[in-house]
Amino acid sequence: MTEAYAISVPKGYRVGSWEVRDPIATGAFGSVYEARCAQPREGVPKSAALKFLPTGTGTLRQLTHLRELAEREVELHRRLTRPRLIRMYETLTVDDPDHPELDGATVLVLERAEGSLAALLARSPHPPQGPALLAQTCEGLAQLHSAGWVHGDLKPANVLLMKDGSARLADFNMAAELEGTHAYTPAFSTPDYTPPELLWSEIGERGRQIRPSADVWAFGVLAHLVLTDTFPLPGGTPSARRDAAVRYARGTDELRLSPQLPDGWREIVRDCLARTHTERISTETLLRRVEEAAGTSRSPRLPRLGARRGPARRWSSPPRPPRSPSRGSRTASPPGRATVGAARRGARETAPRPRRSSRPRTVPVNSVPARAYRPSIGR
């Protein structure tokens, strides 16, 4: 591992039935590792990607959000024939006092990809499969938007390529559920893919407002990059291109797309990069035009999930309670032993419920029971 990882996990470490192998990638808020299933079971692959989210970061405030998004993804997988969202198998919580750097980490067990669009573009600018990958990426956005969510961080690193060469959307740390016309997301973003209106937007208690049109802008930037190996706005650095986006949005600069952009894509990119969110193309129309330009088959029309009832949910991060004596006791928790948090049950138990802890809980998507395990390091 040549770069600093947000959370370092030793090879051979056991999380539930998963054994950590080699590192895959890292970001500002989490790290991803390849893992193999040491206890194979039905419906779970032999290998997966484990995404570790450390305790004490803003990302943890989004974990409940991510679990709800995972449930939406499962529903979309059941209804759609060609889902373009990366699959989540289960969510685990590490309980390992002997490794404080890992203790309390939330682990997302995800579908294993072969690489990312970012890695492909680094190896091969102007990839011949670029138009088809753009169509599949747009299909993923349409699936997400029709389910009532905004991705919020679309970029090449968050488009994963599977073994068959197809594309999946991934990394939903910034994803937010729509509440009418907009959603709320943390004030973090990748400047090159951020629409101008978010560059100077006000940040309230719940974050900043975001609309699906923000993903449409990001897709326009992505398409221009994939097809021309350049960004649509001038500048040698992200800061310079950000300033160019502001000038363009204020009408003091015009949009000058690369002459290398194919004619069929030029108007698509231009409509994605309209100055204001109200002028941008809708996701459904964008998908049809992208599939036509790419020469791919048309996707099935996506049903929109019903509007959520009741008051909007506010994402918050509850304070972590102090360790109980039994948790720190050597007799109750032997050295090197870690346990996975209890799984959420679909039905209510008849026995009295124990007092709820504010510690993050395991929420398996496929209702796989959590198991006790002993970490094995340096295997």
- 201 and 55 part of one domain: no
pLDDT of residue 290: 97
- 133 and 206 part of one domain: yes
The parts of the chain modelled with pLDDT lower than 70 are: 1-3, 28, 55-82, 299-379
The string of pLDDT tens digits covering residues 266-325 is: 999 999 999 999 999 999 999 999 999 999 877 655 444 444 444 444 444 344 444 444
The answer to the question of residue 96 being in a domain is: yes
- 49 and 104 part of one domain: yes
Number of domains making up the chain: 2
- 199 and 106 part of one domain: no
- 127 and 143 part of one domain: yes
The answer to the question of residue 9 being in a domain is: no
pLDDT of residue 307: 41
Which of 244, 262, 294 is the last residue before a domain boundary?
A: 294
Rounded to two decimals, the pTM is 0.74
Give the domain CATH number at 193. 1.10.510.10
Which of 262, 294, 326 is the last residue before a domain boundary?
A: 294
The answer to the question of residue 300 being in a domain is: no
- 182 and 219 part of one domain: yes
- 196 and 268 part of one domain: yes
Which of 263, 294, 325 is the last residue before a domain boundary?
A: 294
The string of pLDDT tens digits covering residues 105-127 is: 888 888 999 999 999 999 999 99
- 221 and 352 part of one domain: no
The answer to the question of residue 301 being in a domain is: no
pLDDT of residue 55: 59
pLDDT of residue 149: 87
pLDDT of residue 54: 75
Give the domain CATH number at 30. 3.30.200.20
- 103 and 176 part of one domain: no
pLDDT of residue 24: 93
pLDDT of residue 228: 97
- 87 and 211 part of one domain: no
- 88 and 51 part of one domain: yes
pLDDT of residue 171: 84
pLDDT of residue 2: 52
The answer to the question of residue 359 being in a domain is: yes
Secondary structure string (H, E, C) spanning the chain: CCCCCCCCCCCCCEECCEEEEEEEEECCCCEEEEEEECCCCCCCCCEEEEEEECCCCHHHHHHHHHHHHHHHHHHHHHHCCCCCECCEEEEEEEECCCCCCCCCCEEEEECCCCEEHHHHHHHCCCCCCHHHHHHHHHHHHHHHHHCCEECCCCCHHHEEECCCCCEEECCCCCCEECECCEEEECCCCCHHHCCHHHHCCCCECCEEEECHHHHHHHHHHHHHHHHHCCCCCCCCCHHHHHHHHHHHHCCCCCCCCCCCCCHHHHHHHHHHCCCCHHHCCCHHHHHHHHHHHHCCCCCCCCCCCCCCCCCCCCCCCCCCCCCCHHHHCCCCCCCCCEEECCECCCCCCCCCCCCCCCCCCECCCCCCCCCEECCCCCC
The answer to the question of residue 378 being in a domain is: no
The answer to the question of residue 273 being in a domain is: yes
pLDDT of residue 301: 54
Domain that holds residue 240: 115-294
- 80 and 166 part of one domain: no
The answer to the question of residue 5 being in a domain is: no
